[in-house]
């Protein structure tokens, strides 16, 4: 599965980056989301895969039975996806407000102050 | 000595307030240079015995930087020059700029300059020297641009600053190299230390230091800033741009002669550059009609002569240089001040538009006469002695004596012509109508030039004393061994005298035919199109164009190209490292795969492709949801229930968010061309392939982690939780979570502000603004009133 | 889209009625996730999300205004409180001269939850913050 | 509902007595408790508990039966090679009045054969149902009224 | 052991029902018919799987969760179906041309989505073709 | 193992559902497909819990059941609003 | 002692959270912001003192021993950076009182600013690579909001780029952390240092180093990844731009210095040579870009990039003196850059524009402000004896010492062009006459003037002070550099001698 996931991660990166490079800012949103999936899955994959053994200690014993999935990448991912969620929420609203304020969804029309030179 | 140097800085802080004393302010400020002159004079006996007075204060000892001062003959002479001229300049400026509202700032700057110049010549530490060096450039900038409303003044100030600072930067590098080569930053130690001319750093060091000296002392091809600097008020021109600052380069060369001098390179570069400058300055000088520009070019010529002399391979050269230095400072300072008076009184500096002023301002005319005579090298003026010495030096050379002597004679003929021009045209003949009606000149104005002019005469009369007291210690310092100096007006009829007479006669001839000269030289003029001033402008323009071009190329404002660039950088850096550094010998991770895992992975891939090519936004959002849910299922399969739960929850919320947002956004549009899409796809796929490789490679070297076993062992006993992931989140690595919820809080604030905060213009236009928002705004206003 | 028009869509009766049953269930479950999180899958974060979902559902079925009333506190205040609770739980250990965020546990066991400790309080802070954040965003967007 | 409470209590007591806290013992306990209560019913005076309980059970079975048959019908339709369905949207006037009743009814209709509640009219008088096979509209309305609506009414009153 | 066998059978049945729903959603011609398939088959499928799970683990916590899921599914599936159906109808998702009768037609207020509750006499049978 | 069978059946169902998701054509159909996917997902998680003997996974199914409903409602909500 | 290390994080955090509860009560918010920033500064100063006296300070958050929990570490470098953060925060908060409009103040300006400071302090003090990511995000998230706060069109357009590009950077950062954990099995930077130096696959580590280089390179605005900066910095409220200019990119530089001294030193021949090249290109493009601009804030903004190049140069040369130079440069540049932006803000308050064409005449009417500008501008250009001179001197000397004349030449040339840009502003804004079309300077109330000038004057004093008292600052920088160059010290302090 690691190999499959490696390709999946690469694919998600490619997809996310491709979408981000579109001119439509609506697609930019999708690209950002795909990119955050890609990162999440990457950490999960490189952190090592262990099937169906959650890092939870059964009641009454003091350690989980081996093998168990590495809890550290899980905790990291949890933090990371939560953070990306917050950031994405903001980014999405920002894009919407930009569209509303500027009246375009073509990022070529959003050259900002650089366009003034 | 530190106090002496810093006093100028101290007073400059007070200057804006000190000017309130009114008309007497010039005299008041002159007290400081007077005191300083007296202070330095008090060292006369010591200096004459060849003793060096040192003072050292720790500044940045760990970098070898001391505020160390070294008063020997050379620095003493320069210090006297700076403070002595300063007296007259300060008095003069008080009268000259009587109505200037910003006179306080003027005194502040010129005091800073004076202090810096003193620091420069007294410094023993290379870095200290450099610091004061830069400060002189900077104060010069402020003074050249003193008439700051005038665009020409601003440009000239910038030009002077860029040229001298550029040289300054080279000097800095040179001084650092010198310090590194000589293992000390103290000049006295370097002089005493081992010979550096064989050191591998020697050539770059010398070139860099020369670059500093040549820019500051307006050597060709950096000379053009000096005429530009004539936009400065005349006291500044007299003080900085003839008597002192431009001599800093000369000082530097003299100072470093014992350290860097004596090599073939030295004897090649200095005479070449100096000689060229001498000629070019002289050539250009007579072409001018603006009095100050005439003087400026002649100053360039003189500075060239000084560099020329310092580079000649003969002991007498140092003596000739020091004498000429003093001579020039006195007569040129006087002439600049006189030029200032003329402009002040008549409203013009055009030498052809003046005449007969001797009747109105006799004392000024007297001063001008003295100065011009000294400049022309007429006995018994000090200038005569200097010219004799010059010829004696060139004639004494072993190589190129004829060539160099001819050069000197030609340049000096021109100087004679200039001297005649600046005295005869304005002061003799018919009184000419001028823009302003000239009046009698007040004491403050004529005192300075007259004193300097008299000085030129007096020095010629007490030559022996001048030679013993002023010249000898300085020369000893330059050649780094005690040297006696014997000066005399009369040596009998010798080749030098004949050359002197020839020079004066030639100068008169040149003066006579000055109009033809101007015409011919104007016709031959190439400087305006090809001269270094053009290079400067071209360089500046090229730099600006390059900047604009680069901005267009790199800073174009297209977000997608920015992202493309990042991708390319990523691909190149990571790809190259991966390919060149890594050997792909490691075994691939296990290929063990279950049906459901494969199916979910395939579904994720398919859903992602749907996202990429979806025509409808909502189809894309639904497919994104599928991708997210699919990833959550992978979390399930590999034992991450907390992750899966969170992913499901977040995914759902993302869908809600997207749904709430999307219906306000336009439908998907395809703006880019097919070619762009293919290009982007290729790049994106390349990066993706790189990531895949990275994942594969890094999973082959996965290490058993220390953390995991610790967490597993301690989760229940120490942290009292069975869900290790949760224990990590709230306990082992709780700080991460604290940051994480902070991000969420900020994001929420951000969304709130984005949606609620409207610019005033938006408020008007935005018809969708809800009554509720407006109500809130109303309440806010009332609250604001309360708060005020 | 004037406000008068905005919320005039007739809400679905079925959804309204179902919400009456679903919201308490969701809230209960969110607390369940919160309290059990230390030992079973769950925790303050997911709990907060589920609780947020409950209020969001209420907002969709009724109006945002009603959902805000149901919540009682403005979401922003919840965020502030949540952050303070979280950091406060970390500061608690300073009374015991331990570093910031050292877990301090009660000696006696509380029924249902088990031992009470500062990490649990921290998780409550997470819960409140997440709830506040979700609602701040969702409410704002739905009101637009 | 007091009796239900006692019944649940008895089920709990039973699980404690048997010492194993699994769903099986809980259900055992509930059945035993129900029997005990039924035997001891005179103690509690008149109570609708037993009647309601039986009604609920029978409703559940009815519902499950309907759900299974619905699923089989769908299966038949779906698997059959030709798509032989004649759908339609039918309005059904409602007799039940409370929101809970209406919603329960709507949900049940959705979960049972060939029907799907689309919406309730804003005056809560009419329910619009999507039907997979419409043959006789009136007969269908009657069927709903007699089947679900009646049972829901009985159960919730 | 018996528990395992029972739960395996139930799980398989449940899975088959979900497969059935999958076939249904793919084959049926319009969105309303598709919902008919998913709302029933999938619900029963979940119920069977949950019962199987409860039987398999025979643990109070698991059973409670399984029960919770079942109740929640029964509670929510019809609601979602209704919401989607209503939205689909309002947004004009076309009915399958074979649809014989549409008594909703024209009953929604365009602006407010208020739904008229008219007596059901005036049935207008759709003429296919 | 005998429990592989339900998993594979579920996967088949999932694939068919995805096919509908791709084909659409109406958004409503896609949402229905998405809804069915979550339901199958709940089933899959439960099967997986049984298959691996890890009842903790069931908690995920509970969360999914509770929360996915909201997604569907949101889509419907959006659909209705986008009409105006 | 343990708490002290966390105070720079917790003080802004708690004040920000309190500000959320006192929403829209402007006075309280202002007071909280001031209290938070002063608290941050004071605690950072105490921390620096303690580190100076007692060496590297470490606290194991949650009392879990390193490398298991999260460790907060203050070595001299991080303590210095935290102090600088405090200084800029105080100045910006005071300046904000006078310059930020009430609209923004009512929409969370102060809490956001405090959260930003929290993220910055956390980034400086954490000893854990993932925790660094978290604080980066806290910092970025608040900066995202602050850039967009106000909803003006230019702001939104700038923010869009800023956010998008930084999200990409974060994704790369996260990827890098994931791979790093995968190949080393730890997140604690001290232990990472040990693990990586013993790695069996140093080549892979170099690949990871590239990931970090790109991730931090974007945040630090290195060539050719800087485009987000000129796009976004000039659109925020000027007080915020000052804060960003002073601190945000520098956090990227801090992170670069941290990881390329502590973690990635296996292949210096490659990585640091690459850094040197990037540093040179960054310097040059930044300064040329600035020369092309004709707007006060945009000149300054583009110029930030150029200065980052110097810091990277110091890192790339990798000698004690060069690193000391880089740190000295950081100290100097943070203060100077922020101050220049504050001056531009004061000018804006007076004349209502940032365009050089629309400005002028302030030399005559506002001599104090002119002088304060000149001090900062000349310090930026490296005029001795101001702070910038020493920074430049150290770097040039360091490069000449290791026989890298090319980079020295580039650095000197760039410094000349810096001078050009600064004098351009000086000539246009101060010397030149006020254009006919421009309005006369607005008379400002005394309190507003005080709030505008106090921070500028204070920072200017620091600039002069650093220049005159270069010795202690240099010793501090060089001690900090020597700590950086001996990772063993850091490792021992964190892991307690049992790496
Ligand atoms: Na975490
Ligand atoms: Na958890």
pLDDT, mean of residues B401-418:
93
- Whether E75 sits inside 8 A of C22 (CB atoms) is yes
Segment holding C117, helix H or strand E = strand C114-117
Distance CA B682, CA C28 (A): 50
Q: For residue B20, tell me if it sits in a domain.
A: no
Q: B771 pLDDT exceeds 50?
A: no
Check residue E64 and give its pLDDT. Answer: 87
**Ramachandran assignment for B125, one of left (phi > 0), alpha (psi -120 to 50 degrees), beta (any other):** beta
Distance CA G180, CA G176 (A): 6
In the reported structure, the alpha carbon of residue C45 is separated from the centroid of ligand 1 by a whole-number distance in angstroms of 11
Question: Minimal Cα distance from C50: which residue of B?
Answer: B649
Other CB atoms within a 10 A radius of the CB of residue B678 amount to: 11
Q: For residue C1, tell me if it sits in a domain.
A: no
Chain C CB contacts of E82 below 8 Å: 12, 14-15
Annotated domain spans of chain E = 2-98
* Helix, strand or coil, per DSSP, at residue B83: helix
Q: Which chains touch E (3 or more CB pairs under 8 A)?
A: C, D, F
In the reported structure, the alpha carbon of residue C35 is separated from the centroid of ligand 2 by a whole-number distance in angstroms of 10
Whether G and D touch (3+ CB pairs < 8 Å), yes or no: no
Q: Smallest Cβ distance to C80: which of G21, G61, G62?
A: G21
pLDDT digits (tens, 9 = 90+) for B358-373: 988 999 999 999 999 9
Q: How confident is the model at residue A117 (pLDDT cuts 50, 70, 90)?
A: low
Give the closest-approach CA distance of E128 to chain C in angstroms. 31
Distance CA B633, CA G468 (A): 64
Q: How confident is the model at residue E117 (pLDDT cuts 50, 70, 90)?
A: confident
Average pLDDT, chain B: 89
- Number of domains, chain B: 1
Strand ranges, E, within G16-87: 57-61, 70-74
Which of C57, C59, C138 is most worth mutating to test chain F (most F CB atoms within 10 A of its CB)?
A: C57
D98 touches chain C (CB under 8 A): no
Radius of gyration over alpha carbons of chain A, in Å?
Answer: 20
- Whether A89 sits inside 8 A of C45 (CB atoms) is no
Q: Based on the number of CB atoms within 10 Å of its own CB, is A6 exposed (0-12), middle (13-18) or buried (19 or more)?
A: buried
pLDDT digits (tens, 9 = 90+) for G79-125: 999 999 999 999 999 999 999 988 888 899 999 999 999 999 999 99
pLDDT digits (tens, 9 = 90+) for A80-91: 999 999 999 999
Contact predicate B764/A106, CB 8 Å: no
CA G25 to chain centre: 30
Average pLDDT, chain E: 84
In the reported structure, the alpha carbon of residue B726 is separated from the centroid of ligand 1 by a whole-number distance in angstroms of 9
pLDDT digits (tens, 9 = 90+) for D88-135: 888 888 888 788 888 888 888 888 877 889 988 888 888 888 988 888
In the reported structure, the alpha carbon of residue G445 is separated from the centroid of ligand 2 by a whole-number distance in angstroms of 55
Q: E35 pLDDT exceeds 60?
A: yes
Chain G CB contacts of A72 below 8 Å: 181, 187
Segment holding C49, helix H or strand E = helix C44-61
C130 touches chain F (CB under 8 A): no
Q: Smallest Cβ distance to B599: which of F11, F31, F75?
A: F11
Cα–Cα–Cα angle for D90, D95, D101, rounded to 5 degrees: 95
Give the closest-approach CA distance of C5 to chain E in angstroms. 8
Give the closest-approach CA distance of B715 to chain C in angstroms. 10
Average pLDDT, chain G: 94
pLDDT, mean of residues B434-458:
90
pLDDT digits (tens, 9 = 90+) for G26-46: 899 999 999 999 999 999 999
Asked if the peptide bond before residue B221 counts as cis, ω within 30 degrees of 0, the response is: yes
- CATH of segment(s) F4-83: 1.10.287
* Helix, strand or coil, per DSSP, at residue E39: helix
Give the closest-approach CA distance of C64 to chain D in angstroms. 21
D106 touches chain C (CB under 8 A): yes
A113 touches chain F (CB under 8 A): no
Contact predicate B557/A112, CB 8 Å: yes
**G439 backbone dihedrals φ, ψ, rounded to 5°:** -75, 155
Distance CA B290, CA B283 (A): 15
In the reported structure, the alpha carbon of residue C138 is separated from the centroid of ligand 1 by a whole-number distance in angstroms of 25
Which residues 52-111 on chain D approach chain E with CB closer than 8 angstroms?
67-68, 70-71, 74-75, 77-79, 83, 85-93, 106-111
- Whether F56 sits inside 8 A of A52 (CB atoms) is no
Q: Are strands E101-102 and D88-93 parallel, antiparallel or unpaired?
A: parallel
Closest ligand to C-alpha of residue B728 is: 1
Distance CA B374, CA E95 (A): 112
In the reported structure, the alpha carbon of residue B647 is separated from the centroid of ligand 2 by a whole-number distance in angstroms of 12
Specify the range with the lowest mean pLDDT, choosing from B748-757, B767-776, C22-31. B767-776
Taking each continuous run of H as one helix and of E as one strand, the counts in chain E are: 4, 1
Check residue F10 and give its pLDDT. Answer: 95
Distance CA B70, CA B477 (A): 11
Whether A and D touch (3+ CB pairs < 8 Å), yes or no: no
Q: How confident is the model at residue E127 (pLDDT cuts 50, 70, 90)?
A: very low
> Is there a single domain that holds both residue D115 and residue D64?
yes
Q: Based on the number of CB atoms within 10 Å of its own CB, is E57 exposed (0-12), middle (13-18) or buried (19 or more)?
A: buried
Which of C6, C9, C31 is most worth mutating to test chain F (most F CB atoms within 10 A of its CB)?
A: C9
pLDDT cut 70: percent of chain B above it: 95
Domain annotation for chain A: domains and CATH numbers:
2-50+68-107 (1.10.287.3510)
In the reported structure, the alpha carbon of residue B632 is separated from the centroid of ligand 2 by a whole-number distance in angstroms of 15
Other CB atoms within a 10 A radius of the CB of residue B51 amount to: 14
Contact predicate G136/G167, CB 8 Å: no
pLDDT digits (tens, 9 = 90+) for B308-321: 999 999 989 999 99
**DSSP-assigned letters across all residues of D53-92:** HHHHHHHHHHHHHHHHHHHHHHHHHHHSSS---B-EEEEE
* Helix, strand or coil, per DSSP, at residue B649: helix
Check residue E15 and give its pLDDT. Answer: 94
Taking each continuous run of H as one helix and of E as one strand, the counts in chain D are: 6, 3
Check the CA dihedral A37-A40-A46-A52 and report its sign.
negative
Question: Minimal Cα distance from E35: which residue of D?
Answer: D116
Check residue B586 and give its pLDDT. Answer: 64
- Whether D122 sits inside 8 A of C10 (CB atoms) is yes
Which residues 597-616 on chain B approach chain A with CB closer than 8 angstroms?
597-598, 601, 604-605, 608-609, 611-612
Q: Which chains touch B (3 or more CB pairs under 8 A)?
A: A, C, F, G
Distance CA E66, CA E46 (A): 9
* Whole-complex ipTM: 0.94
In the reported structure, the alpha carbon of residue B694 is separated from the centroid of ligand 2 by a whole-number distance in angstroms of 30
pLDDT digits (tens, 9 = 90+) for B675-692: 999 999 999 999 999 999
pLDDT, mean of residues C66-86:
93
Distance CA D102, CA D117 (A): 11
- Whether F44 sits inside 8 A of B645 (CB atoms) is no
Segment holding B59, helix H or strand E = strand B53-60
In the reported structure, the alpha carbon of residue B654 is separated from the centroid of ligand 1 by a whole-number distance in angstroms of 21
Check residue B485 and give its pLDDT. Answer: 87
Contact predicate G279/G257, CB 8 Å: no
Q: B407 pLDDT exceeds 60?
A: yes
Give the domain range for residue C91: 11-143
> Is there a single domain that holds both residue D34 and residue D91?
no
Distance CA B564, CA B688 (A): 13
- Whether C49 sits inside 8 A of B653 (CB atoms) is yes
> Is there a single domain that holds both residue D81 and residue D125?
yes
In the reported structure, the alpha carbon of residue G491 is separated from the centroid of ligand 1 by a whole-number distance in angstroms of 23
- Whether B565 sits inside 8 A of G225 (CB atoms) is yes
Distance CA G68, CA G127 (A): 12
Chain E CB contacts of D111 below 8 Å: 39-40, 43, 74, 77-78
Q: Are strands C105-110 and B65-71 parallel, antiparallel or unpaired?
A: unpaired
**DSSP-assigned letters across all residues of G420-452:** HHHHHHIIIIIISPPPTTSPPPPP--HHHHHHH
Distance CA E2, CA E56 (A): 9
- Whether F34 sits inside 8 A of B625 (CB atoms) is yes
Question: Minimal Cα distance from G114: which residue of B?
Answer: B746
H, E, C per residue of B279-314: HHHHHHHCCCCEHHHHHHHHHHHHHHHHHHHHCCCC
Question: Minimal Cα distance from C83: which residue of G?
Answer: G17
Chain E CB contacts of F6 below 8 Å: 8, 11-12, 14-15, 49
Kindly give, in sequence order, each residue whose CB lies less than 8 Å from that of residue G126, ignoring residues fewer than 6 positions away: B735, G70, G71, G72, G73, G132, G135
> Is there a single domain that holds both residue D17 and residue D66?
no
Q: How confident is the model at residue B167 (pLDDT cuts 50, 70, 90)?
A: very high
* Helix, strand or coil, per DSSP, at residue B54: strand
Q: Smallest Cβ distance to G285: which of B550, B711, B758?
A: B550
- Edge-to-edge strand ranges of the sheet holding D126-131: D115-120, D126-131, D88-93, E101-102
Q: Smallest Cβ distance to E86: which of C12, C18, C29?
A: C12
Strand ranges, E, within chain A: none
Nearest CA to B390 among B494, B487, B320, B342? B320
F57 touches chain A (CB under 8 A): yes
Nearest CA to A24 among G155, B666, B565? B666
Give the domain range for residue D26: 3-44
What does the buried/exposed string (b/e) look like for G179-215 if buried means 16 or more CB atoms within 10 Å of the residue's CB? bbbbbbbbbbbbbbbbbbbebebbbbbbbbbbbbbbb
pLDDT, mean of residues G296-317:
95
How many CB pairs below 8 A link A and B?
304
Contact predicate B695/A46, CB 8 Å: yes
- Number of domains, chain D: 2
Looking up tokens 């003189």 gives: B302
Q: Based on the number of CB atoms within 10 Å of its own CB, is B778 exposed (0-12), middle (13-18) or buried (19 or more)?
A: exposed
Q: Are strands D115-120 and C114-117 parallel, antiparallel or unpaired?
A: unpaired
User: Which is more confident, C58 or G201?
Assistant: C58
pLDDT cut 70: percent of chain D above it: 91
**Ramachandran assignment for C97, one of left (phi > 0), alpha (psi -120 to 50 degrees), beta (any other):** left
Looking up tokens 């000698």 gives: G319
User: Which is more confident, B50 or G10?
Assistant: G10
What does the buried/exposed string (b/e) look like for E10-44 if buried means 16 or more CB atoms within 10 Å of the residue's CB? bbbbbbbbbbbbbbbbbbbebbbbbbbbbbbbbbb
């Amino acid at each position: 599965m690691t190999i499959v996931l490696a390709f999946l991660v690469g694919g998600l990166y490619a997809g996310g980056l491709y979408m981000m490079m579109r001119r439509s800012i609506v697609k930019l949103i999708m690209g950002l989301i795909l990119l955050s999936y890609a990162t999440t899955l990457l950490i999960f994959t490189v952190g090592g895969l262990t099937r169906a053994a959650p890092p939870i200690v059964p009641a009454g014993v003091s350690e989980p039975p081996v093998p168990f999935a590495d809890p550290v990448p899980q905790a990291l991912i949890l933090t990371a996806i939560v953070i990306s969620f917050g950031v994405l929420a903001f980014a999405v609203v920002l894009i919407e407000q930009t569209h509303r304020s500027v009246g375009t969804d073509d990022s070529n029309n959003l050259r900002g102050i650089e366009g003034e030179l | 000595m530190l106090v002496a140097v810093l006093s100028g800085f101290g007073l400059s802080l007070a200057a804006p307030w000190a000017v309130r004393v009114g008309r007497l302010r010039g005299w008041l400020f002159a007290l400081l240079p007077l005191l300083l002159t007296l202070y330095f004079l008090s060292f006369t006996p010591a200096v004459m015995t060849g003793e060096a007075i040192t003072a050292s204060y720790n500044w940045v000892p760990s970098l070898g930087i001391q505020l160390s001062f070294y008063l020997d003959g050379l620095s003493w002479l320069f210090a006297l020059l700076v403070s002595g001229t300063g007296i007259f300049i300060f008095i003069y400026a008080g009268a000259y700029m009587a109505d200037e509202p910003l006179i306080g700032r003027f005194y502040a700057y010129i005091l800073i300059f004076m202090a810096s110049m003193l620091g420069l010549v007294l410094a023993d530490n290379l870095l200290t020297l450099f610091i004061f060096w830069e400060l002189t450039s900077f104060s010069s900038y402020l003074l050249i641009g003193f008439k700051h409303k005038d665009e020409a003044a601003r440009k000239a100030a910038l030009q002077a600053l860029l040229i001298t600072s550029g040289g300054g930067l080279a000097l800095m590098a040179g001084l650092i190299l010198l310090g590194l080569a000589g293992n000390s930053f103290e000049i006295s130690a370097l002089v005493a230390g081992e010979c550096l001319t064989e050191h591998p750093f020697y050539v770059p060091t010398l070139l860099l230091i020369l670059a500093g000296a040549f820019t500051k002392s307006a050597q060709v091809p950096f000379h053009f800033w000096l005429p530009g600097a004539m936009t400065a008020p005349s006291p500044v021109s007299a003080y900085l741009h003839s008597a002192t600052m431009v001599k800093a380069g000369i000082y530097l060369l003299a100072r470093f002669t014992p350290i860097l001098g004596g090599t073939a390179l030295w004897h090649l570069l200095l005479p070449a550059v100096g000689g060229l400058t001498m000629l070019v300055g002289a050539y250009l000088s007579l072409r001018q009609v603006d009095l100050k520009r005439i003087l400026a070019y002649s100053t360039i010529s003189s500075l060239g002569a000084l560099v020329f002399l310092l580079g000649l391979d003969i002991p007498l050269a140092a003596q000739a240089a020091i004498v000429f230095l003093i001579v020039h400072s006195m007569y040129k300072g006087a002439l600049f001040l006189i030029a200032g008076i003329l402009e002040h009184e008549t409203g013009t500096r055009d030498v052809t538009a003046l005449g007969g002023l001797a009747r109105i301002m006799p004392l000024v005319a007297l001063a001008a006469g003295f100065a011009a005579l000294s400049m022309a090298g007429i006995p018994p003026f000090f200038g005569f002695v200097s010219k004799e010495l010059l010829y004696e030096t060139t004639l004494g050379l072993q190589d190129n004596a004829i060539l160099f002597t001819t050069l000197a004679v030609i340049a000096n003929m021109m100087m004679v012509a200039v001297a005649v021009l600046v005295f005869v045209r304005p002061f003799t003949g018919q009184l000419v109508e001028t823009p302003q009606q000239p009046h009698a000149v007040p004491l403050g104005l004529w005192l300075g030039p007259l004193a300097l002019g008299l000085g030129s005469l007096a020095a010629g009369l007490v030559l022996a004393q001048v030679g013993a007291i002023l010249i000898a210690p300085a020369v000893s310092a330059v050649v780094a061994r005690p040297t006696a100096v014997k000066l005399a007006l009369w040596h009998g009829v010798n080749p030098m005298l004949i050359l002197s007479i020839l020079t004066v006669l030639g100068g008169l001839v040149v003066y006579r035919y000055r109009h033809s000269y101007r015409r011919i030289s104007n016709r031959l003029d190439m400087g305006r199109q090809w001269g270094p001033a053009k290079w400067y402008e071209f360089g500046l323009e090229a730099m600006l164009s390059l900047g604009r071009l680069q901005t267009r190329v790199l800073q174009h404002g297209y977000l997608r190209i920015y992202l493309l660039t990042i991708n390319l950088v990523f691909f190149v850096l990571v790809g190259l490292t991966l390919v060149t550094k890594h050997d792909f010998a490691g075994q691939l991770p296990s290929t063990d795969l279950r049906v459901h895992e494969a199916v979910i992975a395939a579904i994720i891939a398919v859903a992602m492709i749907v996202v990429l090519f979806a025509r409808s936004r909502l189809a894309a959002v639904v497919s994104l949801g599928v991708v997210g849910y699919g990833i959550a299922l992978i979390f399930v399969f590999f034992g991450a229930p907390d992750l899966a739960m969170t992913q499901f929850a977040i995914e759902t919320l993302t869908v809600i968010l997207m749904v709430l947002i999307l219906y306000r956004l336009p439908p998907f549009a395809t703006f880019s061309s097919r070619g762009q899409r293919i290009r982007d796809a290729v790049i994106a796929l390349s990066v993706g392939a790189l990531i895949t490789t990275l994942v594969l490679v890094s999973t082959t070297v996965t290490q058993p982690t220390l953390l995991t076993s610790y967490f597993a062992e301690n989760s229940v006993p120490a942290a009292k939780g069975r869900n290790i992931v949760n224990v990590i989140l709230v306990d082992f690595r709780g700080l991460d979570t604290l940051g994480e919820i902070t991000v969420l809080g900020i994001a929420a604030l951000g969304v709130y502000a984005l949606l609620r905060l409207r610019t005033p213009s938006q408020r008007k236009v935005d018809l969708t603004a809800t009554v509720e928002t407006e109500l809130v705004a109303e309440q806010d206003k009332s609250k604001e009133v309360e708060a005020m | 889209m004037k406000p008068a028009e905005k919320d005039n869509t007739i809400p679905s009766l079925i959804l309204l009625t179902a919400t009456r049953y679903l919201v308490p269930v969701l809230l209960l479950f969110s607390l369940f996730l919160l309290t059990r999180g230390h030992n079973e899958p769950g925790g303050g974060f997911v709990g907060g999300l589920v609780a947020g979902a409950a209020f969001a559902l209420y907002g969709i079925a009724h109006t945002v205004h009603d959902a805000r009333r149901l919540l009682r506190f403005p979401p922003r205040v919840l965020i502030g409180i949540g952050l303070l609770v979280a950091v406060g739980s970390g500061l608690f250990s300073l009374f015991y001269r331990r570093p910031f965020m050292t877990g301090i546990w009660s000696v006696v066991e509380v029924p249902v939850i088990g031992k009470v400790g500062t990490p649990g309080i921290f998780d409550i802070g997470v819960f409140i913050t997440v709830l506040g954040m979700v609602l701040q965003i969702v409410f704002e967007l739905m009101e637009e | 509902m007091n009796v239900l409470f006692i019944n649940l209590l008895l089920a709990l007591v039973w699980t404690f007595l048997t010492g194993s806290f699994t769903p099986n013992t809980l259900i055992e306990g509930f059945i035993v408790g129900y029997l005990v209560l039924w035997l001891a019913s005179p103690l509690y005076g008149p109570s609708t508990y037993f009647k309601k309980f039986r009604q609920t059970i029978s409703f559940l079975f009815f519902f499950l039966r309907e759900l299974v048959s619905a699923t089989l019908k769908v299966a038949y339709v779906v698997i059959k090679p030709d798509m032989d369905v004649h759908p339609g949207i039918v309005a059904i006037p409602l007799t039940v009045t409370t929101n809970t009743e209406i919603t329960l009814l709507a949900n049940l209709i959705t979960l049972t054969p060939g029907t799907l509640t689309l919406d309730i009219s804003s005056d809560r008088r009419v329910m619009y149902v999507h039907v997979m096979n419409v043959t006789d509209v009136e007969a269908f309305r009657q069927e709903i009224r007699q089947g679900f609506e009646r049972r829901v009414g009985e159960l919730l009153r | 052991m018996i528990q395992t066998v029972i739960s395996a059978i139930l799980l398989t049945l449940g899975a088959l029902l979900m497969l059935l729903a999958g076939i249904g959603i793919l084959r049926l011609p319009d969105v309303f018919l598709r919902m008919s398939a998913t709302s029933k088959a999938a619900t029963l499928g979940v119920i069977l799987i949950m019962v199987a799970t409860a039987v398999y683990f025979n643990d109070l916590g698991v059973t409670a969760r399984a029960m919770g899921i079942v109740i929640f599914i029964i509670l929510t599936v019809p609601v979602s179906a209704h919401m989607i159906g209503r939205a689909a109808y309002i947004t004009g998702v076309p009915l399958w041309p074979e649809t014989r009768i549409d008594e909703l037609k024209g009953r929604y207020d365009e602006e407010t989505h208020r739904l008229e509750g008219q007596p059901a006499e005036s049935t207008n049978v759709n003429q296919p073709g | 193992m005998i429990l592989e069978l339900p998993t594979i059946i579920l996967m088949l169902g999932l694939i068919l559902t995805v096919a509908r998701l791709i084909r659409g054509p109406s958004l409503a159909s896609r949402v229905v497909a998405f809804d069915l996917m979550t339901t199958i997902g709940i089933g899959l998680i439960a099967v997986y819990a049984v298959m691996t003997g890890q009842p903790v996974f069931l908690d995920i199914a509970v969360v999914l059941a509770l929360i996915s409903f909201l997604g569907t409602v949101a889509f419907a909500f959006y659909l209705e609003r986008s009409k105006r | 002692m343990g708490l002290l290390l966390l105070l720079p994080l917790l003080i802004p955090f708690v004040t920000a959270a309190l500000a959320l509860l006192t929403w829209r009560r402007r006075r309280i918010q202002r007071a909280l912001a001031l209290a938070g920033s002063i608290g941050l500064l004071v605690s950072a100063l105490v921390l620096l003192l303690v580190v100076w006296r007692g060496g590297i300070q470490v606290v194991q958050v949650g009392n879990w021993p390193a490398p298991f929990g999260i460790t907060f570490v203050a070595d001299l470098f991080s303590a210095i950076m935290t102090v600088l953060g405090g200084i800029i925060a105080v100045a910006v908060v005071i300046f904000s009182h006078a310059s930020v409009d009430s609209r923004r103040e009512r929409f969370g300006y102060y809490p956001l600013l405090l959260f930003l400071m929290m993220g910055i302090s956390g980034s400086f003090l954490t000893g854990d690579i993932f925790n660094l990511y978290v604080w980066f995000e806290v910092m970025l998230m608040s900066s995202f909001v602050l850039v967009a706060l106000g909803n003006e069109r230019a702001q939104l357009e700038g923010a869009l780029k800023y956010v998008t590009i930084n999200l990409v950077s974060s994704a790369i950062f996260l990827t890098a952390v994931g791979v790093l954990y995968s190949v080393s099995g730890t997140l604690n930077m001290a232990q990472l240092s040990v693990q990586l130096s013993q790695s069996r696959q140093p080549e892979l580590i170099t690949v990871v180093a590239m990931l970090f280089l790109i991730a931090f390179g974007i945040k630090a605005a290195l060539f050719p990844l800087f485009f987000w900066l000129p796009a976004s910095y000039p659109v925020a409220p000027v007080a915020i731009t000052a804060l960003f200019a002073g601190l945000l990119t520098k956090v990227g530089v801090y992170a670069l210095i941290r990881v390329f001294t502590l973690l990635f030193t296996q292949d210096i021949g490659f990585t640091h040579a690459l850094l040197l090249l990037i540093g040179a290109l960054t310097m040059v493009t930044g300064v040329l870009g600035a020369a092309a601009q004709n707007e006060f804030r945009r000149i300054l903004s583009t110029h930030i990039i150029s200065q980052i190049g110097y810091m990277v140069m110091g890192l790339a040369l990798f000698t004690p003196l060069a690193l000391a130079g880089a740190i000295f440069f950081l100290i100097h540049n943070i203060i100077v850059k922020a101050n220049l932006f504050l001056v531009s803000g004061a000018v804006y308050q007076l004349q209502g524009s940032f365009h050089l064409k629309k400005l002028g005449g302030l030399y005559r009417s506002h001599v104090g402000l002119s002088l304060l500008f000149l001090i900062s501008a000349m310090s930026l250009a490296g005029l001795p004896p101001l702070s910038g001179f020493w920074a430049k001197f150290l770097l040039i000397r360091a490069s000449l010492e290791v026989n890298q004349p090319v980079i020295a030449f580039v650095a000197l040339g760039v410094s000349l062009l810096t001078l050009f840009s600064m004098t351009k502003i000086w000539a246009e804004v101060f010397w030149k006459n006020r254009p006919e079309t421009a309005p006369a300077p607005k008379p400002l109330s005394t309190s507003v003037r005080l709030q505008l000038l106090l921070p500028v004057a204070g920072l200017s004093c620091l600039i002069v002070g650093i220049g005159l008292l270069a010795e202690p600052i240099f010793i501090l920088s060089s001690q900090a550099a020597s700590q950086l160059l001996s990772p063993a010290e850091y490792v021992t302090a964190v892991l307690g001698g049992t790496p």
